[in-house]
Copies of this chain bind each other. A is one copy, B any other.
Amino acid sequence: MITIALDAMGGDHAPRAEVEGAVLAARQYGVRVVLVGIESKIRAELNRHSHRGLSIEVVNATEVITMEDSPSHAFRKKRDSSVHVGAKMVRDGKADALVSAGNTGAVMAIARFVLGQLPSVDRPALAAAFPTAKGNPAVLLDVGANVDSKPEQLEQFAIMGEIYYRTIFGTRRPRVAILSIGEEEMKGNELTREASNRLKQTGLNFTGNVEGKDFFKGNVDVIVCDGFIGNIVLKISEGLVEHVGGMLKKALKSSVSAKVGYVLSRHAFDEFRKKIDYSEYGGVPLLGVRGITVIGHGRSNSNAIKNAIRVAGELCRAKVNEKIEQELSAVGAGVRV
C-alpha cells in the first residue's frame, strides 16, 4: 500500500482541512496516510470523522513552521517540524511521498536537504498546472524552485515535466514548449534560444515557443521557463484572477438589476470559479528530489488536500522518479554545472 506522509500543520486551515482531506483520500484512493504534526490537535480533529477501517496513522512532531519562517530558519531551527519529520519518513523508507500545504520555500528547502536530489538532476523544479480554454491543463515549470536557470536546466525541466504530464493527465505524447515573447525561434532571449536548440535534439514532442497571449489556449501541454519568470507568471495569474473577481463583484453590486442578476447566476459563477482554481489539480510537485514531494496551496481546503494526496499516490505508483532518473541519465552526463 502506498504511504503518504501528510504535513498536518501546513495550510491556512490546518489541521482541520488536512485531517478531513486525509480521511477522504484514504477512503477514496485506498492509500495509507500518516498525519504528521502535533498529535493532540490531530487526534481532536480525527475524532470528528468516522475513519474505521481506513489506514490513517498519526506521527507526532512538536514544531510548526509558519508562513513567516524563512526557509533556512525553518530548516535549521525547527528540526522537529511536521515537514522535517515527514521528509525523514520518506528518506527512511517509512513513507513513499511527502505532501504539504505549508510554506512553499520551507518545504522545498527541507525536501532538498533531507531527501537530496536524484543523481542525474541538476536542479529540482516546481511544476504548476493551469486550466486552459480547451480543458487540458498546461503545466508550467519551473515556477520558483530556482532563479537564473541555464539552458541545460530548462532541458531537464522539459523532460521531468513531460513524464509528470504523461503520468497524471494520461496524454501519450504531451506537447512541450518554451515560454517566450514570440513564436518564431529567434524571438526570445539567450536562454530560450539555447534551450530551443537543445530541446530540438531530444525525442520530446517539442513544438517551439509559446507566447504569453497563447498560454491559456491549451495548444501546448508542458511549458518550460526560468524559475524566476515562472514564479512571476504563477503569482501574476493568481493576483489577476483575484483582482478581476473583486472588480466583478463590485460592479455587480452597483445596481439592483445587477444584484438580482448576480444572485440568479450565482451557481454558474461558483462553477466558473472552481474551474479557474488550480488547487483542483492537486498541488505542485517538486520534481527531481529523491522521494515524491507535492506542495499544496496555503489556502488548500480538504478537497485540495485530497487531490494532492491523489497526485502524490499516482506519482509513486507510476514510479515517476525512476523514469526521470532513467531518461535524464540517457540524455547524458555533463549536464551538471
Give chain A's interface residues, CB within 8 Å of chain B: 132-133, 144, 147-148, 179-181, 188-190, 211-217, 228-229, 231-244, 246-248, 251-252, 254-255, 257-258, 260-269, 271-272, 275-276
Least CB distance, A120 to chain B, in whole angstroms: 25
Q: Are A264 and B261 within 8 A (Cβ)?
A: yes
Q: Are B235 and A213 within 8 A (Cβ)?
A: yes
Q: Are B232 and A179 within 8 A (Cβ)?
A: yes
Q: How far is the CA of A241 from the CA of B239 in the complex (A)?
A: 12
Can you show 11 pairs from A to B with CB atoms below 8 A apart?
A: A133-B247, A147-B188, A147-B190, A181-B232, A213-B238, A213-B239, A214-B239, A247-B275, A251-B268, A251-B271, A252-B265
Selected contact of A247 from candidates B229, B257, B267, B272, CB within 8 Å = B272
- The copy count of this chain in the complex is 2
Q: Are B251 and A269 within 8 A (Cβ)?
A: yes
Selected contact of A258 from candidates B144, B233, B240, B267, CB within 8 Å = B267
Q: Are B272 and A228 within 8 A (Cβ)?
A: no
Say whether chain A's binding surface is mostly helix, strand, loop, or mixed.
Answer: helix
Q: Are B272 and A248 within 8 A (Cβ)?
A: yes
If the complex has contacts A188-B228, A212-B239, A232-B233, are A264 and B272 also in contact, measured as CB distance less than 8 A?
no
Q: Are B239 and A236 within 8 A (Cβ)?
A: no
| Complex interface: chain B residues within 8 A of A264 (CB) | 257-258, 260-261, 264
